[in-house]
Amino acid sequence: MDFETIIFEREESVAILSFNRPDKRNAFNTQMVSEINTATELVSNDDSIRCVILTGKGLGFSAGADLTEENSNWKSTEESLIKGYMPSLLNIINMPKPVISAVNGAAAGIGSAYAMACDLTVMGEGSYLLQAFSNIGLVPDGGANWLLVNTVGYKLAYQIAIEGEKIPASRCLELGLTNKVVPDSNLMEETLNWAKRLTERAPQSMRHTKKLMRESLNSTYVDTYSSEAKKQNELFGSPDNKEGIKAFLEKRAPKFNG
């Protein structure tokens, strides 16, 4: 499928989705909102894709919403957030495979929500997250309030939101907002190498672990424990489980089918 504001690339079983409005620092217009929804749905439903990378072309990941867009399809800001952005963010959160955000430059506003919504994050040394909403009398959106509070806790999340300052990659690593920080020049190479290593893991393990952990954010310990037990019982003795055990005993790398 051809896109204008998104670039879809594939490297073996890794899909790379890149925001592609570099002249606007990858700020979201109506078309990019629509195309990222289509692209994330496409990779989510393709079983041959085992890992997804989300990044931005040019100097930044995404500067957030394009405040200069004059002709929008949405009747209100609420409609744009619910009917526009939410479907693709939920596609990232719910798709049965890991999604890695490779953050180059700025991930600001709702752009930061896309970076944080991914399961894993790699940031270039010069990149940063920014919640600048308080500078223009607004509140964080795209689920950023939930994502921040559930990652760094209420006090730090509130501070980040109301101060509206850049959170550099090194600080993001300390706060758990990114998994790795790498030289800017090596960002895509490092991220792609990690993604390829993940594709060698058991797809069913990554798929069900993601679902269990996402659900645990809104569940009790006992409920999560029960869900784990049911899923473990279901997976025990499966082809991938048997292959993993056999490979361990034979001291070789497993070949999972998922």
Is pLDDT larger for residue 72 or for residue 80?
80
pLDDT given for residue 229 in this prediction: 96
Residues 85 and 160 in one domain: yes
pLDDT given for residue 232 in this prediction: 94
Q: What is the pLDDT of residues 120-144, one digit of tens each?
A: 999 999 999 999 999 999 999 999 9
CA distance 157 to 144: 9
pLDDT given for residue 72 in this prediction: 76
What tokens appear for 45 in the block?
């439903």
Q: What is the mean pLDDT of residues 23-27?
A: 96
Residue with tokens 């806790």: 153
Domain interval for residue 74: 6-198
Q: How many domains does the chain fold into?
A: 2
CATH code, domain with 56: 3.90.226.10
pLDDT given for residue 67 in this prediction: 84
pLDDT given for residue 258 in this prediction: 67
Residues 119 and 40 in one domain: yes
Mean pLDDT of the chain: 95
Q: 0.75 exceeded by the pTM?
A: yes
CA distance 227 to 66: 42
